[in-house]
Amino acid sequence: MSQQSTARAAALAVSAQVDAFLTDPQIATLTTLRPDGSPHVAPVRFTWDREAGLARVMTVATSRKARNLLATPGSRAVLCQVSGFSWVTLEGTARVVEEPGRVQDGARRYAKRYWSAPPNPPGRVVIEIEIDRVTSLNV
């Protein structure tokens, strides 16, 4: 882990309850901004890597969420996982990663969290979100 990742992860300092909530195999919403500035919200499965301060979403490069991020490098993304009246929101800078090793790492983490491998269509990528803000309620 890089010094920057270590510093980011330390700055987040999420509680054990929030960390456990984020590892429970649930669905979240991912919000990105379209090129016209309007929000695009999609239900996704994701993984949380507390040590690196990263959330990862498996998708394909042609998806709306990936195209939004590719159109505006360095843009922000928001994940929100809700269960009843409890929720955790993760916010940060997102990027679309095509590097095979990192895509495989994302797929491995996904399979561990959701107990099955993610789809493997042509053009599969991983969205990596460098989390810099965590908010929650009733967690």
- State how far the Cα of 90 lies from the Cα of 79, in Å rounded to an integer: 5
For the chain, percent of residues with pLDDT exceeding 70? 92
pLDDT at 18 over 70: yes
The answer to whether residue 90 scores a pLDDT higher than 90 is: yes
Give the residues across from 79 on adjacent strands: 30, 90
- pLDDT of 111 > 50? The answer is yes
Tokens of 7: 């510093």
pLDDT (0 to 100) of residue 7: 46
Which of 36, 23, 38, 37 shows the shortest CA–CA distance to 90? 23
pLDDT (average), residues 51-73: 96
Asked whether 48 and 114 are in contact (CB, 8 A), the reply is no
Position 70 confidence tier, pLDDT thresholds 50, 70, 90: very high
Do β-strands 86-97 and 124-137 pair in parallel, antiparallel, or remain unpaired?
Answer: antiparallel
pLDDT for res 11? 54
| Residue 77 CA: distances (Å) to CA of 30, 90, 105, 120, 126 | 7, 8, 20, 23, 13
Instruction: Indicate if the pLDDT at residue 135 is higher than 50.
Output: yes
Question: Residue 66: which H helix or E strand, with range?
Answer: helix 64-71
Measure the CA–CA gap between 110 and 116, rounded to whole angstroms.
8
Of the candidates 81, 20, 77, which has an alpha carbon nearest to the alpha carbon of residue 45? Answer: 81
Lowest-confidence segment of 16-25, 37-46, 73-82 by average pLDDT = 16-25
Q: What is the pTM of this model?
A: 0.89
